[in-house]
Structure 1
Amino acid sequence: MGRLSRSLFVKQAVLTLTLAVVLSLLSSFFQVLEGVSAEKKNINRFFGDILTIVENPIAEATFRLDKTLIKQQIDSLLLNSNVARVEVKDEAGEVFVFGQSSQTHFPVSKSVADFLFPDLHSYHRSLILRKPYFKAGQLIIWPEKRVLAESFLIKHASILMYNLVKDLLFAFIISVFFYFLITHPLERLTQVFTSIEEDLDRPFPDIFSRRHRFDEFGRLYVSFARLWQKLKHTKDELERSYIHSMAVIEHAADGILLLDQEFKVVFLNTAARAMLGEQASVTLNQSAQKVLDDETFNTIKHHIDTMPPDTPLTLETLFKGAKKAIPVEIHLAQFDLQGKVEILLLVRDVTERIEAQEHIHQLAYYDPLTKLPNRQLLIDKIDDYLKHDIHEGQFGALILIDLDRFSTINDALGHNVGDKLLVRVSEELSLLERESIILARMGGDEFAFFVMGMDKQTEVEGFIKAFAQKVLVLCATSQEIDQHSMHISASIGVMLFSGQNWQVETIVKQADTALYRAKEAGRNTYVIYENTMQAISDLRLEKEKSLHRAIELGLFELYYQPQVNNLGELIGAEALIRWDDGERGFISPSEFIPLAEELGLIVDIGSWVMDTAFSQVSTWLEDGIWLPSWRMSINVSPVQFQQYGFLAMLKEKIDKYQLPTCCVDLEITENMLLTDLDSSLEKMKLIREMGVHLSVDDFGTGYSSLKYLKILPINRLKIDQSFVRDLLDDKGDEAIVFSIIALSKAFNVSVLAEGVESVAQFERLQEIGCYFYQGYLFSRPVSSSQFVNECVHGLKMN
């Protein structure tokens, strides 16, 4: 038997036997599982019958306290090897009589028995005497699982062996059948190939009988016979292939030049001749130096002389075409063909690619709107200046320009007008460009001048100040765009630097810091960077990072400050956010809330406050700690209140915690109304319709108190603590508090005083008609657990 057939037969036999064993074991395994289930039912039935038989005799013996009879019954049960232990307990649950099997040796281990019958533990039967009716106790029988397992395994061992032998025999028959059906015909086919592989002209022999004529072997034989015929025509095909290859070369889009060992051109395809034009005829048998510049030709010659064959080279150069030099990419390959070295040049015209690269460069480094250098190009220019051009004693300056309130123009008149304005401003600023002054657009409404090569610091500062003034004047010029007359201004930040020990990022950062200070100074001005600005900027950046980290890690906590009436009874609480930074301790909300509003984080923080407060009140309501008449006051930021989806978010959270709306009191500031009075009033009315209460916080400190008070749909005014603090000593503050109380009564609105810290303040507020309070006199803001222990249980309940 040949090696192929022998190997194939052995592999098939091993695989078939292995599969048979595996399938047999799997089949037996499922049979065992089914047998275990059936055996469990038989065991349960067996022990149920035993319990039924001995129940009445043992019940009567237990009633008569006849331990001897009970012992006899137990001993008779233990005679059965399937019983391990029997206990009889009296009506109090105490063991009255017990017995245990004396068997100590078992063929089956306990672990095997537990595996087969893991849920087989013990059988219980209550002992009840019918006449007279008496609960005598309980009978408990423990089965001997090892004996049961032994019986089960003996019963199924013969089945397992039978299945295994049957499957092995079946696998052997399949293997023999496989040999005669497949392996033997393959062996014959292999012998035929071996006998004729060196003689292509021999006819392909007919080796298969009629029974293989139409099966897979027959079709395989036909396929090989046809392949054999095709091999006879290989020589003709190779000749045709050569002709075809030449046609492909002639019609290739790239120019192809073939050089001999002396670098003379021996072949040109059609594309190469088209590149050369009239020169093509005189180029043949001439040096390739006629179509390449000297540097490229020397590079190719050096590569051929120094590098082994089959070492490619790719370079870009100019090809001396018929009318002009053409930018090309040349791919060079040298090869040894029967001892003769030939050099192949593939020449590709890359004019379009270079034009595309130039276009990409334009897009990458120039602003498409204003055609000015963009931020990246300006940064590269500064970096290059710092590395190569700046000299000792010379100064450079980066001047950042930001158009004030440009976003208002965009929003009001549209981006089309805004873009035209940017183009007009860039044209005006371009008037200030010089050889040493580069103008760039940094993005959006921000421009920058990079000034180079200035000497002597005093003259530098004078020049920069005069330059900044010119920029301000140019930007402040009235502009007419699409029949719109616009007056704009600019804020300017200047960073002066000298020497090479600078990083571009630092220069840009410090110029941006100066620009930020110019905006803080009221806009339409310029600020030259000073070192103290960086410390302020770094501190702000650190605060921003800490605030982001606090939101990500959930470092906030809600504290609750009780609100009481004139009888000292609790009427609600205000939820106050607290932030323990860990390193800096507790940070005042007055410090981080404005920063959160500026960074746009206040919406997430406000949403977290509502979630936490609503969840807490809902829990307290379920536990009977919070009365439905109490209100939880929550401060709402103007930024959050003006959000489009604020009302939907509020309703969703109230529904989420199934919170009565009468328990919610939203505190807003009166300055919030200055942004958009009509929209704010509409939202407030919808909030009131939901049943949610509204309070105006810090009343009296804003600018619109008296003007808008009569139209506000509010429930309560909160007197700012700054008026309560000096209530007893400052007649002016007392008059303000008295006026607020009088106004609240006139408009049928309740009033609550914040910051009540002394009994004297408390009594004076009562005298002038204020009956609701909040302050340290009653409690500081405390955690939720402290609020329950110290405020709910410590103060009178309304």
Structure 2
Amino acid sequence: MQGFFQGISFRLAKVGVIVALLVGTLMSAVQIYIDFKAQKETVDNQISSITDMSTPPAVRAIHTVDNNLAAEVVEGIMVNDFIVAVTIADENGREFAESQRIPRTSNTIWITKHLSQHLKIFSAPLHIPGPNPKGEHGEMKFVVDMDAAFARFYKHSAVVITIGLIRSFFLVLFLFVAFHYMLTKPLIRIAAQIKQINPGSPGEQRLSIPAHNRDDELNQLVSSGNQLLDAVDLALAKRRAVEVVLRKSEEHVRQIIDSLPVWVGARNRDGHYIFANKALADFLQTSPEAMRGSHVSDFAEYFITDPQEVITLDMEVIKSRISAQIWEEKWVSSGGEEHNMHTHVMPMEFYDEVVALVVSSDITDLKRAQAQMEHMAYHDALTDLPNRSYLVERLEEEVRKSAKHKFYGALLFIDLDQFKYINDSLGHPAGDGVLKHVSQRLMAIASEDDVVVRLGGDEFVVVLTNLGKELPTAILRAEEIGERIRAYVSEPHFYHDLELHVTCSVGIVIYPEEDAGVHELLRYADTAMYQVKEQGRDAIQFFNKYMADRARNVLVMEGDLHRALEVDAFSLHYQPRVDVHSSKIVGAEALLRWNHPERGMISPAEFIPILETSGLIVQVGMWVLERSLRQVKEWQRMGLWTKNMRLGVNISPRQFRSSQFVEDITATLEREEFDAQMLEMEITEGIVIHNLDETINTMSTLCEQGINFALDDFGTGYSSISYLKKLPVSILKIDQSFVRDITVDRNDRVLVETISAMGNMLELDVVAEGVETADQLELVRRYGCLYYQGYLASRPVNPNQFELLLEKHEIIITA
């Protein structure tokens, strides 16, 4: 029964009843309204007719004062059953005749009151005819019962409403039956057929209805339904075909992933593997199938990281949907071999959950190569001894230890005497053999805690540690070891069938020295060594009071430098930077020069270190920047300098570290209205090594303004790939010490080629410094250097001479 009341037939019948009632009511209302208007007009006409018929006899009755005639008129009017009272009176209100009866009662009086008045009074004036009638001579009044007058109308309306209801009932009944047989019953049949459709093969079942429905909407529904079943059946067939293809494709993808040289795995938030490729499974001595469902802790023996840390990282990646990287993750193979892995952990949608996709690349070989590069950065390629970079760091550490524990050490600066003659007469292979022999003899003399360093060329340094807490004892021990070194180095060196002899000059300084840092100690030892050279070589010499006096002379020069800055005695020379391919000038390096009023031109190597140590370098550095910017602006105005050319300005460590460095540079550029993209700041590796993060922040701030940075003298200091990757530099300058002997020294060629290749891989412009011959230019061009500087193009020249070079636009190399 519930299904019947929810059926379409019943709902349509319900709608039909409502519609029929509304339409029937509306039509009946219109019919009743028309009948009401007609009945009202009929009543009005009757009243008018009664008035017209009764007025003449009533006038005669008043004129003749005939009460009987007036009574007859009244009785005649009262014959109409809807009139309940009649009165005839003269103009003085005297009644001639009057009659009335009680109005009838009925159930329609309330309707009458809404449509009109129940008892309505009508009056008619009475005029006596004559030649000069004036005013009214009487009045006839009668009261009409409007309910009685509309009684016929009420009966007719009741009949109309009753017939309308009966008509609506039979109409609804007919519509219900018609809907049931024409619509509901076929739909029930179609619904039953749809329930019987097999979801796996919908095309096997067909929808149908009795044939007498012919080409109506139901037939179209059945036809469309069958077409839909065919389409679904075809789609399912295509889907099955696609699933087959997808399974094959998935298998191919799996084969590709399994063939990748990286480890690929996926773990859920609980740390269970849901997928692993063959490379990962092979390393863990299992299979991809066996790993599915395994917990990460099951393989704890293969990696050093705590499994809980691994799960925690996976959870963070899954929750945040942000990838994470583990730059270096250590794993251990079943054979005990350690592997370094670079791992990416990424969120991945896997069916109805998010998992952590883990991709690990084996960087073991890369780490070995990096370690080798770092070893090369801190060790000499020829002798495998530590180099200057290592020396500075280690010596700083030893000086701190000696000051803390109150013991003495010594620094021995060793330079081979007349070593150049061996290279010149027998060639560099012979010289390299001697250098290797010397390094081996120095290592044999030095203790395990001592440090033996090759600074470069034929210069060595030996750091003697912990020589005792008494200064005389330390001096004696340092002297003894110095003499042993001198004697041992002097012993014959055999190269092929040749017996070679070489001596050495040794300068010694005891540390800790008051107010002397690493570089001061090296300078003191170097000074002592040169004292030996001046005295005839092949001896040892301690840094003494006389040498200290010479060091004090530096103070005199410092005063001269102050005055030079005050009187504007400095000048700038410019050395062109040249494209190795086109020979066009692409920029210039501004170089500071000082013409002393008494000593003449002073070498920058002599006065610039004093500027640095005194702090004057900050002011002088800003002077160099301002003067060079103005000079380039002048050349630009003359049309000799283009916007794609760069001005190189050397920035000293102390200037770079000054608190107002960035502000001073920015203010100078704005004041001089200079395009920052034409400015190139050249910094040394010594600036970088101290507080790398602060260095990067300072450089990045200036780079945002358009300033370029060049790493100057690369390879002579703290050469390290690790910081080179982080620094925002765009130019790498190879030190001239490597270029000088590039045509005859294989080690220098290897270094230049390596540095150039590394710079190109890091997308840096590589500049070779100190190019003096066409052969050197050819080699640096072949090794990938983009630009060069050196005497081959031009010595540093004054602005007027440099203008002549700019006017030529390019450097002409003559054989």
TM-score range, shorter chain: 0.3 to 0.5
Larger radius of gyration: 2
TM-score between both structures, scaled by the size of structure 1? 0.38
TM-score between both structures, scaled by the size of structure 2? 0.37
